[in-house]
Amino acid sequence: MAVTSETISFISGPGLSLHGVIYLPDQARRPAAGAPAIILCLGYRPVFGMFAPKYARGFAEMGYVVLTFEYRGFGESEGPRWRHIAQEQLEDVRNAITYVTTRAEVDADRVALWGDASYGGAHAVMAGALDQRVRCVAATTPFADGEALLRDTRTPWEWQDFLARVDADRRARVLGGGEAVAPEEIMNFEPASHVRAAKHAEKHPELAALRYPLSETADSTMAYKPVDYVDRLAPRPLLLIAAELDRTTPTSQAEQLYGAAGPPKRLVILKGAGHTDVHGARLADVMEIGARWLARHLGPRTADIVRVEGDPEAEDVDARVPADLRDLIEKEAIR
């Protein structure tokens, strides 16, 4: 199937132009009323080229319009460089929702959010909970409570040292100073993530160069608590995909979200997978799980149905990742 892509831009925040790419399925797959759309929310190290094109191409080949974009300050988007602030990125996601609804190729009543790992998953949950235009949400390895995440992935003494460092940086920042640090100095990555990040950086040098404002990023993360909002998503559907061996955003974070969410909801924990596997070695599997979910929950509205509750299995849904894309993912996956 022919998939076309188009470079786009839209405005977010205080007049900032954000860069994105929209992927369009073959015209024969687009209904007269418009195709369903998926907005991809990137994660804590939002380097566009790493995984977004693979997600986008795969879902576009299945008949979805897919919008991928770079948060303010990242990639080709305008804004202070590498200012990783949760609440600002959430605003970018909601403006991306608005943008996609302006596209003639899209059925504005069928817009889904797909959160790619940690922050991307948290953004998808938060934006979906706050924005009624979102029809359903899928999130991989999301976190529920940013403060708990930063605390629970450190020893007690490391946590106290971290808080002291953040407080010192707050005071330096208001006097015109402050540190810019590598992302892993704020979010504590599992050892395997460090190894894989180094391998990814060989293809994507921006990964190695990223530096975030210490106290601003830390404070925004600690204040970011999707678990306090996820119940607002129901009765719109939620899919959570976690990794059994994840030590960066442990499965307990996804379990918290699942427990707080209303139905319909589904939690899938991938056996033997680590944090980066969900968008690396297990990406094709993740996409197939998500595609079955989307095929069921992003269909056209039926006029004589008010709502349908529950989440029966639907293995008969044909939502396979195209063979050539699966081969590409498996060939390029960082292991």
- How many domains does the chain divide into? 1
What digits encode the pLDDT tens for the residues 38-96?
999 999 988 887 777 888 888 999 999 999 999 999 999 999 999 999 999 999 999 99
Task: Count CB neighbours of 189 within 10 A.
Answer: 23
pLDDT tier for residue 315 given thresholds of 50, 70 and 90:
very low
Structure token pair of residue 4: 């076309």
DSSP state of 302: -
Residue 139 has pLDDT above 60, yes or no: yes
Is residue 48 a part of any domain in this protein?
Answer: yes
Is residue 206 a part of any domain in this protein?
Answer: no
Average pLDDT over residues 196-206: 74
Q: What 3-state class would DSSP assign to 23?
A: strand
Domain span including residue 258: 4-151+220-332
Q: Are 6 and 21 in contact (CB under 8 A)?
A: yes
pLDDT tier for residue 301 given thresholds of 50, 70 and 90:
low
Is residue 203 a part of any domain in this protein?
Answer: no
Is residue 245 a part of any domain in this protein?
Answer: yes
What pLDDT score does 207 carry? 78
- How far apart CA 309 and CA 93 sit, in angstroms, is 27
Average pLDDT over residues 116-143: 96
CATH of the domain at 328: 3.40.50.1820
Is residue 314 a part of any domain in this protein?
Answer: yes
pLDDT tier for residue 26 given thresholds of 50, 70 and 90:
confident
Beta bridge partners of 139: 115, 240
When the pLDDT of each residue in the chain is averaged and rounded to a whole number, the result is 88
Is residue 300 a part of any domain in this protein?
Answer: yes
